[in-house]
């Protein structure tokens, strides 16, 4: 059977679906009502008939000042939540003036070294009204604490803050690579974040367990949800092992998935993921609170499917992907800009991406019906197939000792790389069509002027850091960092001494290095 007769997960795809496709289908057990276990039809009874999903736009580049200006533009354009992109040094726990950061400052996101940068990033934005998502993992605790400190300066208490930190370091070992500490120490830090937020920032989503980056690395839809849920189980076990009650932290867990152009399989994927998670939480972890059993997720359209060739075609891809996310019941959505395969998105492209969501929400009729695909022979059958395949793969992870042990064995990484290779061969052999790349190509591409990051940003960021280190009380900072090292050696929550150090103008890099002094850094093992 060729690729056209199979889903992206490699599952059989019928040309015609009829009642035989769902023969023996237990509607009551597998569907239920919207907003009720097992949440196949969505996590809320009214879904978008009450209000639409949160429309987020992922932005961050260059300096905090430039990013702040873009955030104000997006808020004025009607976005309901902000998503912050950080540059690579920030993601890896390095300051902008470190040698390893040279050439990367402000390139793929905003450079945040200190609380001063965070203050500039959110200047003029009411943090008690704006929901903020921060795509940060290994140093998530540092950036969250900076955000809390800046909010306190605005007079906004922690219990009024809403948002999400990605904080999913396990997928970094599998697919992305912006890890700092070894897996066990990373799980310790994650558990400390869960406990800290339960006490200090109770409305904050403490983790966004991500399949998106695995999908961008080549994971199939089945691999995406299976490896994501396997990682989630590991986080839950770590938190319970640290003495937390499952219903104290599980309601604040959230997920992050991709939306591809294969709309029907994506809708089925989201529905299958909700069903699997609800049963795991209720049956394996004995979660009693219905909110602990709900898989709430953010979706981003598939960056890996954007093409530099005929980039305007990406507008169509993004619209289709965004529609799939909505039909699948996402809680928030970021739509990529059509020019992201070339460079950082321009202001016009970012606005068009937001307008795409607004057209889906306000000009189509999909928000007027809860779970429009319920009962569809095709979608229900595909949901069942994806659920069965994902459960089999989750069990394969469990058979290897759980997510961390499987990561150390290279299992997930190897599986994803194999899928990516097969997919690339299908495109190369033209078994799979990519418009503008291997079919319907142009002899000559139209010129395009991308947005460029000013290289002077790095110099200016380094100068600010040098000035800060002259003006702050360095002895007090070092004492605070020593207290952090002491906490890391013991069993206390490291976020409290970390917050004290950051309030004294310790840098993000200094905080990360203090933990490296105690925990060390992760050195990956070759998969092959």
Is the pLDDT confidence value at 500 over 90?
Answer: yes
Same-domain check for residues 269 and 395: yes
- Report the alpha-carbon angle 124-128-130, nearest 5: 70
Residue 290, in any domain of the structure: yes
Average pLDDT over every residue of 129-155: 96
Same-domain check for residues 353 and 501: no
- Report the alpha-carbon angle 369-372-373, nearest 5: 170
With contact defined as beta carbons under 8 Å apart, do 82 and 59 qualify?
A: yes
Higher-scoring residue by pLDDT: 197, 77: 197
CA distance 4 to 6: 6
What is the model's pLDDT at position 177? 92
Same-domain check for residues 233 and 129: yes
Q: How many CB atoms lie within 10 A of CB 202?
A: 15
Give me 88's structure tokens: 């690579």
Same-domain check for residues 399 and 492: no
Report which of 115, 117, 116 is spatially closest to residue 106, judged by C-alpha positions: 117
Residue with tokens 């280190």: 469
- The total number of structural domains in the chain stands at 2
What is the model's pLDDT at position 32? 87
Residue 333's φ and ψ, nearest 5 degrees, are -145, 135
> Which residues share a beta bridge with 54?
332
Residue 313's φ and ψ, nearest 5 degrees, are -65, -25
Residue 125, in any domain of the structure: yes
| Ranges 75-79, 94-98, 252-256, 267-271: which has the least confidence | 75-79
Report which of 203, 422, 465, 432 is spatially closest to residue 305, judged by C-alpha positions: 432
Is the pLDDT confidence value at 451 over 80?
Answer: no
Is the pLDDT confidence value at 78 over 80?
Answer: yes
Report which of 89, 273, 82 is spatially closest to residue 164, judged by C-alpha positions: 82
Same-domain check for residues 62 and 206: yes
What is the model's pLDDT at position 364? 97
Same-domain check for residues 93 and 161: yes
Number of residues assigned to the chain: 528
Is 429 strand, coil or helix? coil
Same-domain check for residues 406 and 476: no
What is the model's pLDDT at position 167? 97
pLDDT confidence tier of residue 27, bands split at 50, 70 and 90: low
Q: What percent of the chain has pLDDT over 70?
A: 97
CA distance 131 to 118: 15
CB-count exposure of residue 435 (10 Å: 0-12, 13-18, 19+): middle
What is the model's pLDDT at position 28? 62
Residue 1 CA, chain-centre distance (Å), reads: 34
What integer best gives the mean pLDDT of the chain?
93
DSSP for 42-74?
-SSSSGGGTSPPEEEEEE--BSHHHHHHHHHHH
- pTM of the model as a whole: 0.92
Residue 436, in any domain of the structure: no
Report which of 168, 174, 185, 278 is spatially closest to residue 219, judged by C-alpha positions: 174
Average pLDDT over every residue of 440-465: 86
507: containing domain: 472-519
> Which residues share a beta bridge with 332?
54, 298
With contact defined as beta carbons under 8 Å apart, do 253 and 239 qualify?
A: no
Is the pLDDT confidence value at 58 over 80?
Answer: no
With contact defined as beta carbons under 8 Å apart, do 82 and 57 qualify?
A: yes
Same-domain check for residues 507 and 383: no
What is the model's pLDDT at position 279? 97
Residue 39, in any domain of the structure: no
pLDDT tens figures, 392-447: 999 999 999 999 999 999 999 999 999 999 999 999 999 999 999 999 999 888 78
């Amino acid at each position: 059977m060729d690729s056209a007769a199979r889903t992206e997960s490699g599952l059989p795809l019928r040309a015609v679906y009829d009642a035989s496709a769902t023969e023996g289908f237990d509607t009551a057990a597998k569907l239920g009502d919207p907003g009720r276990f097992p949440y196949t039809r969505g996590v809320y009874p009214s879904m978008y008939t009450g209000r639409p999903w949160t429309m987020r736009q992922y932005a961050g580049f260059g300096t905090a000042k430039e990013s702040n200006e873009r955030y104000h533009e997006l808020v004025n354009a009607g976005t309901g939540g902000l998503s912050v992109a950080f540059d690579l040094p920030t993601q890896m726990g390095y300051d902008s003036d470190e040698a390893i950061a040279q050439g990367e400052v402000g390139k793929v996101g905003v450079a945040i070294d200190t609380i001063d940068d965070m203050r500039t990033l959110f200047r003029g934005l009411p943090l008690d009204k704006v929901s903020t998502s921060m795509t940060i993992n290994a140093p998530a605790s540092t950036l969250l604490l900076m955000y809390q400190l800046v909010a306190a300066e605005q007079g906004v208490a922690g219990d009024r803050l809403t948002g999400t930190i990605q904080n999913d370091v396990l997928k970094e070992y599998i697919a992305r690579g912006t890890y700092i500490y070894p897996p066990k120490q990373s799980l310790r830090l994650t558990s400390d974040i869960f406990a800290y937020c339960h006490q200090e920032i109770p409305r904050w989503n403490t983790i966004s367990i991500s399949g998106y980056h695995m999908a961008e690395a080549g994971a199939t839809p089945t691999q995406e949800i299976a490896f994501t849920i396997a990682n989630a189980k590991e986080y839950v076990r770590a938190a319970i092992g640290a003495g937390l009650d499952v219903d104290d932290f599980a309601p604040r867990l959230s997920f992050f998935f991709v939306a591809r152009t294969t709309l029907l399989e994506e809708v089925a994927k989201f529905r299958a993921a909700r069903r699997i998670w609800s049963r795991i939480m209720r049956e394996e972890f004995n979660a009693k609170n219905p909110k602990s059993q709900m898989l709430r997720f953010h979706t981003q359209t598939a960056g890996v499917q954007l093409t530099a060739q005929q980039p305007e075609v990406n507008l169509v891809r993004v619209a289709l992907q965004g529609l799939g996310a909505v039909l699948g019941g996402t809680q928030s959505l970021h739509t990529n800009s059509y020019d992201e395969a070339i460079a950082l998105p321009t202001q016009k492209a970012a606005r068009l991406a937001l307008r795409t969501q607004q057209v889906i929400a306000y000009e189509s009729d999909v928000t007027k019906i809860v779970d429009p695909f319920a009962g569809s022979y095709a979608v229900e059958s595909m949901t069942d197939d994806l659920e069965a395949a994902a459960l089999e793969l989750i069990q394969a992870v469990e058979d290897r000792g759980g997510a961390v042990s499987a990561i150390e064995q290279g299992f997930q990484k190897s599986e994803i790389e194999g899928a990516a290779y097969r997919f690339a061969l299908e495109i190369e052999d033209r078994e799979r069509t990519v418009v503008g790349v291997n079919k319907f190509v142009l002899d000559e591409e139209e010129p395009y002027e991308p947005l460029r990051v000013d290289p002077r940003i790095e110099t200016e960021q380094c100068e600010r850091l040098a000035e800060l280190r002259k003006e702050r009380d360095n002895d007090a900072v070092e004492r605070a960092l020593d207290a952090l090292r002491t906490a890391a050696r013991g069993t206390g929550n490291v976020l409290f001494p970390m917050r004290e150090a950051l309030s004294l103008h310790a840098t993000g890099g200094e905080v990360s290095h203090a933990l490296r002094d105690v925990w060390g850094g992760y050195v990956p093992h070759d998969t092959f």
